[in-house]
Chain A
Amino acid sequence: MSYKWNWGVLLDPVVTGENATYLEWIVHGFFITLGLTLCAWTLALVVGTVFGVMRTWPNRFGQAIGTAYVSIFRNVPLIVQFFVWYFVVPEILPAAIGDWIKGVKPNVQFFVVSVLALGMYTGSRICEQLRAGIQALPRGQRQAGLAMGFSTAQTYGHVMLPQVFRHIMPPLTSEFLIISKNSAIASTIGLLELSRQAQQLVDFTAQPYESFIVVTLAYVLLNFLILRFMAWINNRISLPGLMGH
């Protein structure tokens, strides 16, 4: 293979005239990916919890809404959801709102759309994990809570959810790792996150292997940080007598 390695390219000033080196582009992309992952993850946790509870709440209407949410957001490919949020939503909203959205700074648009798309999609997966966790609890837990005079909300808040979240820590960790990598799809609508920076480097330096190697290492680092963080949380919240502790 006729490839010329050139690691020094990382410290070259960028060809587009901005005051930066290619390495700074990658670092910048890393923080965008980190920010996007954290924001989308927070949204996914909130949305997933709300709908997961709704799917098990003793109320037909709420269950139907929860089911509809899961079937839509879990079944449509993530990349399509990005395009729908970015291209379609502003067109079907009233013209005034749509035009306002399209007038927002592009970088802000990209980020917000990406948080929405990633968060709502991952939320549907967390929703199902939460539902599975709730349904796996012995029925006596709910009944005991209600017998103690707790309302349904109190039973969920004080008895069931604290146990469920401890049980589903392993799949939640997986989801957190997955969302950090799914965030690369944001590059398709224009967000300059980590993978997009790698593509820019390929385009502008014609040194694809250096670019992809550095970016791969950056993703490995990000995933390592997430793993350590989730392990730390898991340690903090583990209770004796639950989950083999």
Chain B
Amino acid sequence: MSLSTSIRCKRAGHALGHSVLAAALLGGIAAAQAAGPALDGTLKKIKDSGVVVVGFREASIPFSYYNDDKQPIGYSADITRLVLDQIKNKLELPGLQVRQLPITSQNRISLLQNGTIDFECNTTTHNESREKQVDFSNSFFIVGTRLLAKKDSGIKDFDDLKGNTVVVGAGTTSEILLRKMNAEKNMGMNVISAKDHSESFLTLSTGRAKAMMMDDALLAGERAKTRDPKDYVITGTPQSFEVYGCMLRKGDSQMKTLLDEVIAKAKTSGAAAKIYDTWFMKPIPPKQLNLDFPMSDTMKALFAKPNDRVTP
């Protein structure tokens, strides 16, 4: 800036000191206007540090899980990639350093709030109690909470669970719904809350629990991991529908706009449908199994009209 101004001064030959200063000021304002409003929040942090930190889940098939090279892959991992591309574009930082950090359902909100991670797109349900602490982007997935049981167990719906042991993931919406149902309908169930999806499934497959309640897409993922997926059925009336969104720091409007735009564009352009097809309708690693989990009507509606509502 100062160099170009001084060259201009020499050409003009008779510039006065204060007009040079004015030109420099004007030039500065023009440059800032060209780049849009000043960055703030997470985007500013990323621009200043040259690093973006993304949270990912390690064992949520087919949303975010490790491939053989210990890299997170899956439906949500692909969405994350789209977001990262857009951040690189917007900040004009093609060489942006991306750091990936494994998170759990217990630490994800704290890590986001204290700045350890910048955002996460995984399997986090957008609900009202979380809205008090964080913001959510447009939703990118909708699940129903249902049951997984062994075929010969005779469990067809939630009423069959009376007096049985059922396993759920600790801290999930399924746990809340199931324990509520147990208390309100006096069903006499034993509810085991397991630390993660694999442990829930281990509890089911070793016969400790008769059924496992979880988001249906994750149930399909757990089933696909087993030696014999045909032994298990996904069953029961959905007890709720949950929307997954990207989680970001509260009040960070620039970051939210960016996330919203990426997700809306992915849906309306058909890119998200292609990603869905890859992970839910085709064979996926590690065992090349097909989840065979067609898109629900509620999700088709979401894809047609992207939004960030809590209820689908």
Contact residues of A with B, CB < 8 Å?
1-4, 15-19, 87, 90-91, 99, 102, 105-107, 187-188, 190, 196, 199-200, 202-209
The prevalent SS among residues of B at the interface is mixed
Q: Give complex CA distance A105, B133 in Å.
A: 37
With A190-B193, A208-B110 already in contact, the answer to whether A4 and B176 are too (CB < 8 A) is: no
Smallest beta-carbon distance A190→chain B, Å:
5
Given A2-B249, A4-B132, the answer on whether A102 and B208 have CB atoms closer than 8 Å is yes
Q: Is the CB–CB distance between B184 and A17 below 8 Å?
A: yes
- Complex Cα distance, B251 from A75, in Å, reads 49
- Chain B residues whose CB sits within 8 angstroms of the CB of A190 once the complex forms: 192-195
Query: 1/0 per position for B143-184, CB-CB distance to A under 8 A?
Result: 000000000000000000000010000111001100111111
Chain A's closest residue to B250 (CB) is A2
Question: Which of chain B's residues 194-210 have a Cβ closer than 8 Å to chain A?
Answer: 194-195, 202, 206-208
Asked whether, in the complex, the Cβ of A204 is within 8 Å of the Cβ of B129, the reply is yes
Taking CB atoms, residues of chain A closer than 8 Å to B250 are 2
Q: Nearest chain-B residue to A188 (Cβ)?
A: B195
Residue pairs across A and B with Cβ atoms less than 8 A apart, 7 shown, are A2-B133, A3-B133, A17-B182, A107-B190, A188-B195, A202-B171, A209-B110
Please name all residues of chain B whose beta carbon is closer than 8 Å to the beta carbon of A200 when the two chains form the complex.
170-171, 193
Q: Pick the residue among B179, B192, B206, B207 that contacts A17 (CB under 8 A).
A: B179
A16–B181 Cα distance when bound, in Å, is 9
Interface centre among A1, A99, A105, A203 (most CB of B within 10 A): A203
Residue of B nearest to A187 (CB): B195
**CB-based contact B183/A203 at 8 Å:** no
Contact A199 B106 (CB under 8 A): yes
Q: In whole angstroms, how far apart are the Cα atoms of A203 and B106 in the complex?
A: 6
Q: How far is the CA of A91 from the CA of B194 in the complex (A)?
A: 19
A205 touches B183 (CB 8 A): no
B190 touches A206 (CB 8 A): no
Closest to B172 in A: A203
A32 to chain B, nearest CB (A): 14
Picked from A4, A106, A209, the residue with its CB within 8 Å of the CB of B190 is A106
Q: Is B49 an interface residue (CB 8 A)?
A: no
Decide: A202 and B106 in contact? CB cutoff 8 A.
Answer: yes
B193 touches A206 (CB 8 A): no
When chains A and B are docked, how far (Å) is the Cα of A55 from the Cα of B157?
57
Q: How far is the CA of A203 from the CA of B171 in the complex (A)?
A: 5
List chain A residues, Cβ under 8 A from B183.
16-19
CA separation between A231 and B207, bound complex, in Å? 46
Given contacts A87-B202, A91-B206, A203-B106, 11 further A-B contacts (CB under 8 A): A16-B175, A16-B180, A17-B181, A17-B183, A90-B206, A102-B206, A202-B109, A206-B109, A206-B132, A206-B133, A207-B133
